[in-house]
Amino acid sequence: MKFTRITNKLDKLNEFDREPVPQHKLQGIGNFLGIYGGEHIAATGFVTGILWIAHGVSVKELFIGAFIGDLLAVLSWTLITAPIAVKARLSIYWQLRKICGPVLVFIYNVVNALMFCILAGAMIAVSATAVGIPFNIDMPGLNDLYPHSIGWVVTVFFVGAGITTIAILGFKSLGNFGKVVVPWLFLVFIAAAVSCFSEVGIEPGMKNFWEVANNTIWTGVAKEGRLQFNIWHVILFTWMVNAAMHLGMSDLTILRYARKWYYGLASALGMYGGHYIVWIASGIVYSAATSDAPGMVAYQAIGITGAICVIVAGWSTANPTLYRAGLALQVVSPNWQRWKVTLIAGLIATFAAMFPALVMRLLDFVALYGLILIPMGGIIFADFYLNEKLGMQKYFAEKHGISFNTAAGITWLILLISALIANQVIGVNLFFLPAPTWFAAILLYLIFSLIYQKRITKNLRTI
Amino acid sequence: MKQTIKKLYWLRIILIIISIIGAAFTLVPSFFDWLGIISSGQSKALMLTGTILWFFSATYLFNWESNKDNI
């Protein structure tokens, strides 16, 4: 009974896009260029650029590794996600519901909501590093994991409260403000890097750029307490930083409006304009700074504009993330209004933000986020392309009124446990796990589905 | 009605010009700073000016369709 109530609630929340997107609502590529450009020019990029230097990535490893990783990400969106999106024209919620059943989708929703809260928390913390500057707040260092001062906790609380309040008051109108912010952010990131050229020793004409990049900026030596990365860390992280969206298939929700599958190539604007350029720019800015806190780094480079940039970048990422978290959490709340669930999401995010680990270990968190959700993307891929070819049924849960597809559930659970063992016991770095996990999800789901579907259909015949 | 449309047209042109100036002031001073044409302090001041101009003009420009109904 309780599951039925939750199911109905979940369905009602997603009611507006229950049906496949009709032809007349499809959109041109310009819309997707805007979406991907806007989404990936963000505060996370600023922090990632800093962390590459901290982990001793060399200039060659960054420039080549990030290029390859971004290319793999673009190809994942274009060749894996977009073709399914334009054929099925369903959001990830309905696609998963047809395959896995409403109960498993509910669990997925809750996990996704928690991940969104933590990601929003990281962005609140980033903004707090800039807000705290005029008050001389003691900023967290690279190796700080826990709250280290009352000033930091209070600053994070007020920033989190502010962002949550704005999210409650009017997400839609503020979404328009996001359009204003993104082009400006891109310019500021570049301007901040150029401002630091003379500081790091890059001469006009840029003849000594590679020499400075090698010897001063991306030296290839990890900072104390940090794991030494190589090109494989860069390639795999860059590819999987948005794993939840491409191989994890959550961008089905966006790309279902695309006229053609190759609109997935629009993601290149986000990857190269957002990640690639911003990571390089923030690395240059960080190498000229005397702090590890993003706000202080930007402030030292370009003054108040830099501080505003970090505040705005953190806020513009946290706001929609908080909104999505609130939306996902609505399914567990007892008929609460949107503002109440957004408040809960904001409280969780603000509490998480008090731990500097969220910023200083952002690469690990983002890799973990992708790892947890990527198996579902493999399940969608397998179900869409391979189930019928192997004599099984597609959308099995929907066809047989099943609320929890055990084959999908067990696949997800086994892969999460395996990833945990691989990371914690064997010591495999998180960045190396999402790709094999996706392939393993396809294989395991097919095997379990063979057994599961045979058993269910046999039981139905017996009845 | 024609007067209002004409006014809106020129208002939009002005906002576009201010946005372009704002964007230029945000980016260009950093190059001048690097080339030693202006000081770091001057560069930061110009960038802040550009930021203010951009947010003032682009906010109206990017939301032109909804704002037009209110004018």
User: Min CA distance, B11 vs chain A (Å)?
Assistant: 18
How far apart, in whole angstroms, are the C-alpha atoms of residue A68 and residue A79? 16
pLDDT tens sequence for chain A (463 residues): 566 666 676 666 665 566 788 888 888 888 888 888 888 888 788 889 999 999 999 999 999 999 999 999 999 999 999 999 999 999 888 899 999 998 999 899 889 888 889 989 989 999 999 998 888 888 887 778 888 889 999 999 999 999 898 888 765 555 667 778 889 999 999 999 999 999 999 999 999 999 999 999 999 999 988 899 999 999 999 999 999 999 999 999 889 999 999 999 999 999 999 899 999 999 999 999 998 888 999 999 999 999 999 998 888 888 888 877 877 777 666 577 778 888 999 999 999 999 988 887 888 888 888 999 999 999 999 999 999 999 999 999 999 999 999 999 999 999 999 999 999 999 999 999 999 999 999 999 999 999 999 998 887 776 6
Give the 3-state secondary structure of residue A258.
strand
Distance, C-alpha A325 to centroid of its chain: 13
Q: Say if domain A2-13+26-141+149-360 classifies as CATH 3.40.50.920.
A: no
What is the interface pTM, i.e. ipTM, of the complex? 0.90
User: Three-state SS for A174?
Assistant: helix
* Closest residue, chain B, to A186 (C-alpha): B27
User: What are the structure tokens assigned to A179, written together?
Assistant: 């359009």
Q: Compute the distance between CA of residue B39 and CA of residue B29 in angstroms, rounded to an integer.
A: 9
Do residue B48 and residue A195 have CB atoms under 8 angstroms apart? no
Q: Do A180 and B23 touch (CB under 8 A)?
A: no
Alpha-carbon distance A85 to A26, whole Å? Answer: 12
The chain B residue lying nearest A198, using CA atoms, is: B34
CA–CA separation, A399 vs A411, rounded Å?
20
Judging by beta carbons within 10 Å of its beta carbon (0-12, 13-18, 19+), is residue A306 exposed, middle or buried?
buried
Instruction: Looking at the complex, report in whole angstroms how far the Cα of residue A122 sits from the nearest Cα belonging to chain B.
Output: 25
Round the CA-based radius of gyration of chain B to a whole number and report it: 16
Interface test with A, best of B15, B16, B26 (most A CBs within 10 A): B26
Residue B64 sits at the chain A interface (C-beta within 8 Å):
no
Of A179, A180, A195, nearest to B30 by CB-CB distance is: A195
Q: At what angle do helices B40-62 and B2-34 cross, to 10 degrees?
A: 150
A188 touching B (Cβ < 8 Å)? yes
The predicted pLDDT at position A173 comes to 56
Residues of B in contact with A305 (CB under 8 A): 26, 44, 47-48, 50-51
Rounded distance between C-alpha atoms, residue A111 and residue A107, angstroms: 6
Name every residue whose Cβ is closer than 8 Å to that of residue A33 and which is 6 or more positions away in sequence.
Answer: A266, A269
Angle at A327 between CA A324 and CA A329, to 5 degrees: 110
Q: What is the mean pLDDT of residues B35-43?
A: 95
Q: Which of A181, A194, A202 to mutate to test the interface with B (most CBs of B within 10 A)?
A: A194
Considering only alpha carbons, which residue of chain A is nearest residue B27? A191
CA distance B40 to chain A (A): 8
Which residue among B27, B55, B58 sits closest to A191, beta carbon to beta carbon? Answer: B27
The answer to whether the beta carbons of residues A441 and A433 sit under 8 Å apart is no
Residue B26, number of CB atoms within 10 A of its CB: 28
Nearest CA in chain B to A196: B34
Domain ranges of chain A: 2-13+26-141+149-360
CB of A18 less than 8 A from some CB of B: no
| Closest partner CB to A194 (pick from B31, B48, B51) | B31
Taking CA–CA distances from A300, the nearest residue in chain B reads B44
Asked if A183's CB is within 8 angstroms of B47's CB, the reply is: no
Question: Which residue from A180, A187, A308 is facing B27, i.e. has the nearest CB?
Answer: A187
pLDDT of residue A19: 77
> How far, in Å, CA of A294 to CA of A126, rounded?
6
Question: Do the Cβ atoms of A198 and B31 come within 8 Å?
Answer: no
What single DSSP character describes residue A76? I
pLDDT of residue A336: 76
CA distance A68 to A204: 29
Contact between A303 and B31 using a beta-carbon 8 Å cutoff = no
Answer for the pair A278, A46: CB distance below 8 angstroms, yes or no.
yes
Q: Give the CA distances from residue A78 to residues A86, A258, A267, in Å, rounded to whole numbers and listed in that order.
A: 11, 11, 8
Q: How far is CA A144 from the centre of its chain?
A: 23
Q: According to the model, what pLDDT value does residue A170 have?
A: 62
What is the token pair recorded at A225?
């307490």
Q: Are A88 and A384 in contact (CB under 8 A)?
A: yes
pTM for this predicted structure: 0.89
Taking the CA of residue A302 and the nearest CA in chain B, the distance in Å comes to: 5
Ordered alpha helix ranges (H), A249-391: 252-255, 267-268, 277-287, 294-302, 304-329, 338-353, 357-360, 362-385
Phi, psi at residue A207, to the nearest 5°? -70, -30
B49 inside 8 A of chain A by CB = no
CB contact under 8 A, B47 and A191: yes
Contact between chains at A191 and B29 (C-beta distance less than 8 A): yes
Q: How far is CA A81 from CA A246, A255, A262, A265, A281, in A?
A: 6, 8, 10, 11, 30
Under an 8 A CB cutoff, do A183 and B59 touch? Answer: no
Tell me whether B67 touches chain A (CB under 8 Å).
Answer: no
A198 vs B51: CB contact, 8 Å cut-off? no
Instruction: Supply the DSSP symbol for A153.
Output: H
Q: Residue A351 has what pLDDT? A: 94
Apex A274 CA angle, A272 and A275, nearest 5: 70
pLDDT higher than threshold 50 for residue B71: no
Strand (E) or helix (H) holding B61: helix B40-62
* Angle, CA of A415, A1 and A456, to the nearest 5°: 50
Give the residue from B16, B18, B20, B30 with the most A CB atoms within 10 Å of its CB, the best one to mutate: B30
Identify the closest residue of chain A to B60 by CA–CA distance. A180
- Interface check B30 vs A, CB under 8 A: yes
Contact A176, B12 (CB under 8 A): no
**How far is the C-alpha of A345 from the C-alpha of A333, rounded, in Å?**
11
- Cα A445–chain centre separation: 24
Alpha-carbon distance A2 to A145, whole Å? Answer: 39
Residues 6+ apart with CB under 8 A from A432: A232, A236
Q: What is the C-alpha radius of gyration for chain A, rounded to an integer number of angstroms?
A: 22
Structural contact between residues A270 and A278, judged by C-beta atoms closer than 8 angstroms: no
| % chain B with pLDDT above 70 | 89
DSSP A222: P
Q: Where are the alpha helices (DSSP H) in A386-433?
A: 396-400, 406-421
- Which among A195, A202, A308 has the least Cβ separation from residue B43? A195
Look up tokens 């230097």; give the residue: A53
Residue A58: name the closest of A279, A218, A280 by CA: A218
